[in-house]
Structure 1
Amino acid sequence: MDPRRLDYTGEGIGEDELLATPYAQVRAWVDAAVARSSSAPDVVEPLAAAVATVDAEGRPNVRTVLLRFLDERGPGFVTALTSTKGREIADNPRVAAGLTWPAMYRAVRFRGVAVELDRDEVAEYWRSRPWGSRISAWASQQSQPVSSRAQLEAAARARAEQFPDHGGADDVPVPDFWGGYRVVCDEVELWGGRRDRLHDRIVYRRVGEGDLGDALSWEVSRRQP
């Protein structure tokens, strides 16, 4: 018997527990994960999300980003628009994303279309980032090859000299090549782990034009695990 095999002891989720809208339900789970991360060591990065795209040949790519936006319009993240994910989204905006909290026996899966964030929204978030994070965004040609760690650090030092830290939100301007995306969802799935791998999968599927806060735009169903 594999000593690493665990029996999931989560409470799962039932249809009678669902909140009024997919947004309300996802927000409740995200907030619970964030709250647990502040008091327990088993949820280290509650906003870490896997985002999957496909390249021009239809080959999938997946990477981890941090969820920086979540409202009725959908989940969102920031990135260099010139990165691999940015280029692939430009060619094919259909994406999937997932949040997973193993210690809580919960996961959320999103499927939909990535839409570029409004520049005002990008700028507002950019100003909230620490100075060092803003410098790194300028220094990194995201997804491009680099000869060494030393070259990357030299680029960061050059940008730090260009945009010195005066303690202000506008010390470092927003690069034109930097932005983000929101996933406009067609489907949202909630996964709740249970014993003997008989897990719960509750799915919201779009049937109307409303956002995640519009209950009438979503049909709820259960899938087998």
Structure 2
Amino acid sequence: MSRDFHAADDPFPVFESWLQEAGGTELNDPNAMALATVDADGMPDVRVVLMNGYDARGIVFYTNLGSAKAMELSSQPKAAAVFHWKSLRRQVRFRGTVEQVSAEEADAYYATRPRMSRIGAWASHQSHPLSSRAELENAVAARESEFEGREPPRPTWWSGFRIVPISVEFWLDMPYRLHDRATFTRGGDGGWSRTRLYP
């Protein structure tokens, strides 16, 4: 299992296998990834977010469209992400272009979130200045009152982004820093080529 990326023709079945294993070994959030974007000044920006879905098209996360990362992705629709599973001594890197998910996809995921997370999406002006914790708590309380007795719909300013990878790299820790690595590169026909890498 640990070396099957050297025999695979497609990175996503391997990624799925590793993610499932991480679900049994990581204490918290095996779907956490460091997401790197570029701001308007050309400076890199990185933060940890949760991946909320994936398929053959790419990996998906959700956010407030007024957040820093959303604004950066809207102006420069490209990103990199890395999953690091310390318990398994593995990591997977994604690099690619970025597209916004459909309204139907966003609605479907939003409906699965806990009620308070859905209310929080209405209350938070993500990445914008906040005068105090009390201001946020008051905003949450106001939205709770607003949606009492009914389900909060998805705000128009909350949606998801998909990283459509042009490359996916697998890294496996090995003794003496002689790690096992391979990268998958997507061709113009949508197929993948695989290259083993020096550590």
1: CA distance, partners of 2:149 / 2:61: 25
2: CA distance, partners of 1:105 / 1:201: 12
Report the 3-state secondary structure (helix = DSSP H, G, I; strand = E; otherwise coil) of the residue aligned with 1:164.
coil
Q: Which amino acid aligns with 1:220?
A: R
Report the 3-state secondary structure (helix = DSSP H, G, I; strand = E; otherwise coil) of the residue aligned with 2:111.
helix
Deviation at 1:36, TM superposition (A): 3.0
Q: State whether residues 81 and 93 of structure 2, in contact with CA within 8 Å, keep that contact through their aligned partners in structure 1.
A: yes
Change (3 A) 1:15 1:33: closer
Q: Which amino acid aligns with 2:194?
A: V
Change (3 A) 1:84 1:15: closer
Superposed, 1:44-59 pairs within 5 Å as 44-59=28-43
- Which residue of the other structure, out of 154, 163, 170, is the alignment partner of 2:138? 154
2: CA distance, partners of 1:163 / 1:34: 34
Cα shift readout 1:101-148 (whole Å, capped 9, x = no counterpart): 011011110000111000000001111111000011111000001011
Residue equivalent to 2:23 = 34
- Which residue of the other structure, out of 167, 179, 189, is the alignment partner of 1:187? 167
Change (3 A) 1:22 1:136: same
- Which residue of the other structure, out of 71, 77, 81, is the alignment partner of 2:61? 77
- Which residue of the other structure, out of 191, 202, 209, is the alignment partner of 2:189? 209
1: CA distance, partners of 2:32 / 2:97: 19
2: CA distance, partners of 1:15 / 1:181: 26
Please tell me whether residue 221 in structure 1 is matched to residue 191 in structure 2. Answer: no
Deviation at 1:28, TM superposition (A): 0.9
1: CA distance, partners of 2:118 / 2:183: 37
Q: State whether residues 25 and 88 of structure 2, in contact with CA within 8 Å, keep that contact through their aligned partners in structure 1.
A: no
TM-score (norm 2): 0.95
- Which residue of the other structure, out of 10, 26, 41, is the alignment partner of 1:21? 10
Identity %: 40
Q: Which amino acid aligns with 1:13?
A: R
- Which residue of the other structure, out of 196, 203, 216, is the alignment partner of 2:176? 196
Q: Which amino acid aligns with 1:35?
A: G
2: CA distance, partners of 1:209 / 1:81: 32
Please tell me whether residue 112 in structure 1 is matched to residue 96 in structure 2. Answer: yes
Moved over 6 A (4+): none
Deviation at 1:15, TM superposition (A): 5.5
CA-atom RMSD, angstroms?
Answer: 1.5
Residue equivalent to 1:90 = 74
Deviation at 1:12, TM superposition (A): 5.7
Aligned length: 199
Q: State whether residues 12 and 193 of structure 1, in contact with CA within 8 Å, keep that contact through their aligned partners in structure 2.
A: no
Name whichever structure is richer in strand by fraction.
2
Q: State whether residues 117 and 181 of structure 1, in contact with CA within 8 Å, keep that contact through their aligned partners in structure 2.
A: yes
Higher relative contact order (CA closer than 8 Å, sequence separation 6+): 1
Deviation at 1:14, TM superposition (A): 6.1
